[in-house]
Structure 1
Amino acid sequence: MSKTIAAFRNLISLLLILLVFLACEENDAEIVEITPEPLPVLVEEFGYTLNDFNVIRDTIRPGDTFGDILDAYGVSNQDILEVATKFRDSFDVRRIVVGKPYVLLNSKDSLNKTEIFIYQNNTVDFAVVDFRDTLNVYTAVKPVTFIEREVSGIITRSLPHTLKEQNLNYGLGSRMASIFAWTVNFYGLQKGDNFKLIYTEKYINDTIPAGIDEIKAAYFEHRGKPIYAFQYEKDSITGETDYYDENADNLRRAFLKSPIEFDYRISSPYNLKRRIKYYGYKLRPHKGTDFAAGIGTPIIATADGTVTESERRGGNGNYVKLKHNGTYETQYLHMKNRNVRPGQYVRQGDVIGWVGMTGNTGGPHVCYRFWKNGKQVDPFKEDLPFSTPLEEQYHQGYFNYIPSIKERLDCIIY
C-alpha cells in the first residue's frame, strides 16, 4: 500500500513539473521582441537631401563638355543651350576645368534623368544647375568655419620636409614663402632655421579640412636673423591688407627673390666665369640663375610689369620677357607652356608659365635673367627697392595692435 501511495505521489510531482514547464513555454512564446528597422540616415549636401536622388560623382575628363555630360542622362538640348547662353554670369559652361569634380542628382526611376548638376570650383564654392520645373542656375558656398591654430617648426632638411615631419598643411609653406619671399632665400635655408605661425584654417561642416584661410602673424629666423610679419588691415572699407614688420616697414620688395615659390633648388647660379667640361672648359658665362623644379611647377612674375615677349625661339625654348619700368626687365626661359601674351600687364606673383625642358636644357628648370639699365646682372647681389611702408596715418592703430599678437608668437614653443 505504501508503495502505491509513493508511486502516486511521484506521478503527481511529475505532472506538476510538466505543468510548470508548459506554463513557462507558453509565457516564453508570448514574449516577442520586435526590433524596429532603423530609419535611413538623411544625407544633406549642397542644400539637397541626396537620399531623394540617384547620386553620381565624377570629375571633368579631357574632351568632356557640359553638353556631352548631360546629354547622356536625358537632358534636352534646349535646356543645355539655355544654360550655355543665358546664365554665363552665374556659370560659364565653357570654363569647366579638367580634373574638377561634379555631381549629378538623377531621378529615382528607370529614366535616371539628371535633375540637378553641381560643378565644384573648389572645396567650398560650387555652381548649381537645377533643371526641375523652371530652370534655375546659381552659385553657392558650403558652410565654412574657421579655427585658429598656432604652430612652430625647426628646419632639419628643407621646409617641405619639416612640414611633412610635423604633419602640417603643405599650403603653409607656400603662404610663408609668399610672406617672406623678399627677405628669406628659401633655397638657402639652413638646419636650425625656424618659424612660428598664428593662422586660421577652414573646415566644411566643422569636420572636413578646406585649406588655409590666412596667416595672421609669422616669425621666421633665418641664419640667426629674426624676422616678424604681422598682417594688418589698414583700410576696413577696401579691406586692403599687407604684412609689416615690428617697425611698420612693408616686407615686400619691388622684386621677389625667386620665380618659383619655395620648392626648388638653384642648379646653376649667375656666373660670368663659368667653364664647362663639355665645351672644353672654354669660358661660357652664365648670365642667368637656374631654378630647378619639377615639370609643370608654376613660374611666377617676380614683379609687376608688361609682357614684351612671349614666344618660342632657339635655345631659349618657350620664354617670357617682362618690362617692369625704365630700369628693370626680367626673362624666364625653357618653359613647358606660356600663360601670357605680349602687351599683357601682369602683377607680382601671377603665373606666367610652367617649368619645362624646351630649348637647350639638360633637365627641368627655369633660367631667370635680370636686367638693370639694359645690362644683365645678378639679382641676388642687387639692393632692390622696398615697397611703400605703412603710411604714418595708420601707425597708431598698428602699434596698438601688434604687441599682444607678438607676445603670442614669442610664447609659442618648438
Structure 2
Amino acid sequence: MTERRLRVGDDEVVLSSRDAPKGGGQAAVYPLDDNPGTVVKLYREPQGPDQERRVERMLNLTPLGGRPTNTSQPPELAWPTAVVRGVDGEFLGYAMRRFGEPEHVPLIGLFTRAQRLRCFPPQTDWRFLLGVCWNLAFMTARMHHEGLVIGDFSSNNIVVDGNGFVTLLDCDSIAFTDPASGEHFPALMQTADYSAPERQAGGPASPHTDNFALAVLIYQLLTVGNHPFGGVPHGSSSDSTIKDNIAASCSYVVHPEAVTTPRNMVEPTVLPPSLLALARQAFGPGVHRPESRPSAEDWLRALDRERSRVETCGERPRHTYGFHLTTCPWCARAAVTGQDAFNMPPPRPMPPPVPVGTPDVPEEAPVSRTLVLVLIALIAVIAVVVAIAASA
C-alpha cells in the first residue's frame, strides 16, 4: 500500500492508496481518514503562482458569512479552509469541508426519475424542486451582491441536501477581487451547456453570464431535467449540440415551431406564467443581449410568489404543481408515458410460496378436441359392427 504525505495548513496528513478520489479533469478530491469532515482537492497538473496566490487570498475572505442560518443548513460555499502542500513545500491544492453522499447529492441527481427516487426523500416533489430553485437564486443574488461571480455555474458544480439547501463546489474557479490588494482573479472555467454566447466566444464571466446559467438550471429543475436548448433545430444537422443551439439562440421554449424535441418532453407550460415569462426572456432576447436577462433577484421574487400557491393533486399527494393548471400535469404524463415522475412504481406481485417438502405435481396435459371426436367415432363404428355380427 502506497502512502502520500501532505501538509494541510500546519498539519501533516497521509493519503493512502485505499482513498478513492473523486473529481473532474482538473483536480481530484480525496477524503481524510483522520478527519471525515474534511477533504483535500489536489490539482492533477502543477499550478502556477496565480492559482496559489488565488487560494491564499481566499483564506482571508469569509463570503456569505453575514447571514444567520438554520443549524441544519450547510454553508452555501465550499470555501477553502487551508492550503495543501507537499513535503517540500510545493503548492498542490487546498482543503475544504466535505459535501458528499449520502448527505449531499449533485444537483443533476434531481434531473432523472431514477436518481431522484434513489437519492432523495419520498417528499421530493415539484414543490421541493421549486424550493431548490429559490435557494439557488438566493445564493446567486448574495454572491453578486458581494462582488463574486460563479463563472462555472452548472448542475455538476452544485450539491443539494435532503432539505433542498444548495452548496457551490469548486469555489477556486470563481471570479473575485481581493479587497486588500485590489488584485482581480477571473473565472477561467466554464461548462458548455450553461455558457452564454459571449462566454463561449471567449468573453469574461460576469453576473450576466451567471444569470444565463441560473435560468437554465431553474428551467431544468422545474421540468425534471429538460434542457431549454435541447432538441434539433429544423434544417440543421442531427448532430447539433446544446452549445450550438445556445449560440444560435434556438430554444423550443421561445420558438417551439423551429425545433424538433424528443418525445414525452415536459411542456414549458408546466411553469407558472410569471416563471415562464422570465424563462422566455432569458432564452429569447436575453441570449444575445446580456443586460436584458432576468437577474437572480428577478427570479427570487417570482419564485417567492409561486411557493405560496402550489396545488396538490387529489389523487396522488406527491404530485404538486402550479396554481395556473386546472389538472395535474404529472398524472397526465404518467398516463401517456407509463412512468410516474414522483412516485415509486408499485411492487410486482409475488407468486405464492411452494410448501417445503411438497413434490411438484405436473399438470395433466389437455386432451385434444380432435382426439375426442376420433374416439367417439371409433366407438360408434365398433358398436355397428357388433350389432351386425349379432344379427347374422
User: Higher strand share goes to which structure?
Assistant: 1
TM-score > 0.5, shorter chain as reference: no
Q: TM-score, normalised by structure 1?
A: 0.22
User: Higher relative contact order at CA 8 Å, sep ≥6: structure 1 or structure 2?
Assistant: 2
**Bigger Cα Rg:** 1
User: Higher helix share goes to which structure?
Assistant: 2
